[in-house]
Chain A
Amino acid sequence: MRRETVLLLGLLLVLLAFPAFAGPYALAVATLILYFAYTGQAWNILMGFAGHLSLGHALYVGVGAYAAGALFFHYGIGPWAGLWLAMLLCMLLGALIGFLAFRFSISGVYFALLTIAFAEFTRVGFDHLDWLGGPGGMFLKVAQRDAWDLASFRGPPLMYYYSILFLCAAAFALCFFLLRTKAGYYWQAIRENEDAARALGIDTFRWKMAAVVLSAAMTSVSGVFFAFYYNNLFPEQVFNIGRSIEIILGPVIGGVGTLFGPVLGAAVLTLLSEAITEALGAFGLEIPGVKQVFYGVVLLGVIVFLPHGIWPALARRLRLRSGA
């Protein structure tokens, strides 16, 4: 077996067995890491594969979360049905943004600003939608269950952990296969040089639309998870540009366009955050703001010295074949 497959399977086994030897705190942190890994992976499809920087991806998380949340809150409909509505709405939204952007040839910074504008517009808009709770937020009825109730997605933290792990693994597998199909090659061609791709006869508009829609759909699932894990949604928090930035931190640090980058990046960032908090606490340096300064400095360091992200450098060290 190839080295990387072995390592990957090993990692999967470790993650599957993790809850057995981890306390609830570690489990909560792990769930958070996997959540950002999954969402980052979804974002990565648009950026890493199709080469378009979206800085408003919180839009899809939010719409997905509110769609599923609203169905549950107003009609008692469970998350499995809500999931479809969430994906549908986000696909339409993604298609709209993609259509507007690509028809009018908006790319680069302008595309990024377009995505920000849509997210902000929606944020303020949702603040005024009383049916969805408005600024007061939507609180989903919580039921503490020790048994796994997958139908209404309620259960112990363990259930959420395995669910997000499953999502993460599925996303990874999906991207792995996509990269090796025609779609994957077309996307990479478009990313490297769109004009050349078009010259070769690739319908770049169609494939870019596919990337946006797929990314949006995957991200909406993240939103559904968010809604049922946190059980309360506020437009200010959910659509916030800070959230959009959080989503892209993982992939950018880990390695944009790589398969493993988002996962590694999410892990590194979350663990770094917790570690700094612990260290500062141990030294008694709990001055507000110190932690974020350290965090920012590390971020800066990685960006300046490892421009392609941590994973490519790490992969080289581990002597794995590049491309994963």
Chain B
Amino acid sequence: MTNRRSEEVWISGTEEPDWLVAGTDEGEQKLKEHEEGGRLTEQTGTRIVDDVLYEGDEDPQERMIINMGPQHPSTHGVLRLQIELEGEIVRRVKPIIGYLHTGMEKTAETLTFMQGPTNVTRMDYLAPMHNELCFSLAVEQLLGVEIPPRAQAIRILLTELNRVSSHLVALATNGMDVGALSMMLYGFRERELILAFFEKTTGLRMNHNFIRPGGVAADLPPGWEVDVQNILDELPPKMAEYDDLLKANPIWLGRTRDVGIITAAECLAYSITGPTLRATGLAHDLRKSAPYSGIEQYDFDVVTGTRGDSYDRYRVKVHEMEQSLKIVKQVLESMPTGDYKTDDRKVTPPPRARIDESMEALIHHFKIYTEGFKVPEGEAYVAIESPRGELGCYIVSDGGSKPLRMHTRAPSFANLQALPILLSDSLMADAVASLASLDPVLGDVDR
């Protein structure tokens, strides 16, 4: 509320003050008035240009605009949808976002490059390792440092485990929204295994700030092989349980088969990437086309679907989890020894024990933690494959210790543009199922 004094309080039962009403008015985001004649525009490979979907020959008086969210159990965070319904059929939908806007890009300009991952990790809070990795890779591109192989392998181990835990949440919420409530319990139960490993390694269950420019913050704890092997042993039978529940379940099939169809050309035109794009049949995965952090040495397949509907998106996620576990197994077997961060003392702090012995180490430690290390002038954009799609980080440095501009290309932000296509002429219940299968994370969308 921008024009309210902090002492003003509204007591329920009294007349509503204008600042309270104004705060929730749709304002500029109102669905626009119907134009004469309506239009359905055909463009190269796309079906619609804006949120007008229909040929306007029905009587517009029969339509009702309802508002779904921002506080709603199935909008996956604070997403607000303005839906124009004709009976039970969705005719127009407009997503309104910004309810979680945190000003992270502005905050990033006040934090040093080593503090940067703490900020970025909270964007896509279901895949925090990916955010940190993307940021670190962009900074390292500007710095030109080489990351030792053990650090790269640790990064891949953590990000692929994170992909599994993110897809588990996606399946859990997808199941819960469609009605399979036990899926929610299963998904979060397995996620606890992975979060326990993260807590042992990084100190936190979520938002770790572990992958930093120069390597990772600390080495893997002793006994990590046992924990990872435990995850690899426990997950496949549990995933068979999910298949028992969902894969051939007629209710699940009825609710997700041929619901929310999108084609590959539409995906590309609307900048949609990730499982949604791969479910349409296009095998575009940044882990293969632009490999990062040594992932090219591991053997895995890119999973694609065929029909581009919600059921295919679900299958793509399940198989991607299997492929990620395959990568984790290979990392476990072939983890190189060596440093977990680069040697360059101007970038990464020295080991704590050295501070007692060497004056130079003390100065480096002090400089890095207070002022921050300086990154040469330039700009870089690095993109990785997060569980939601192409996650990119664009950093402009002016030679100082804080970025001049830090921008994150958020996959969910672009993926939300698919909503009018997914929901066009669908039933209201399908709207919820399609939105759940799209798997947006609002922290990523609003930043």
Whether A and B are associated in the same complex: the answer reads no
Q: Which A residues form the contact surface with B (CB < 8 A)?
A: none
